[in-house]
Amino acid sequence: MNTDPIADFLTRIRNAQKAQHPSVDIPASKVKVRLAEILKDEGFISDVRMLSDQGKKILRMNLRYSSDGEPMIHRLKRISTPGCRRYASAQDVPATSTGVEVTIVSTSKGMMTGMAARDACLGGELICSVM
Structural domain ending residue among the three candidates 19, 40, 63? 63
Q: Note the helical H segments in the chain.
A: 5-18, 30-41, 114-119
Residues of the domain holding 115: 76-130
Residue 82 has φ and ψ, to the nearest 5°, of: -60, -30
In a domain, 99, yes or no: yes
31: confidence class by pLDDT, cuts 50, 70, 90: very high
In a domain, 13, yes or no: yes
Cβ neighbour number for residue 117 with a 10 Å cutoff = 25
* Same domain flag for 24 and 51: yes
- In this predicted model, what pLDDT tens digit does every residue of 88-114 receive, in sequence order? 999 999 877 566 899 999 999 999 999
* Same domain flag for 80 and 57: no
In a domain, 68, yes or no: no
Cβ neighbour number for residue 56 with a 10 Å cutoff = 9
Global confidence as pTM: 0.94
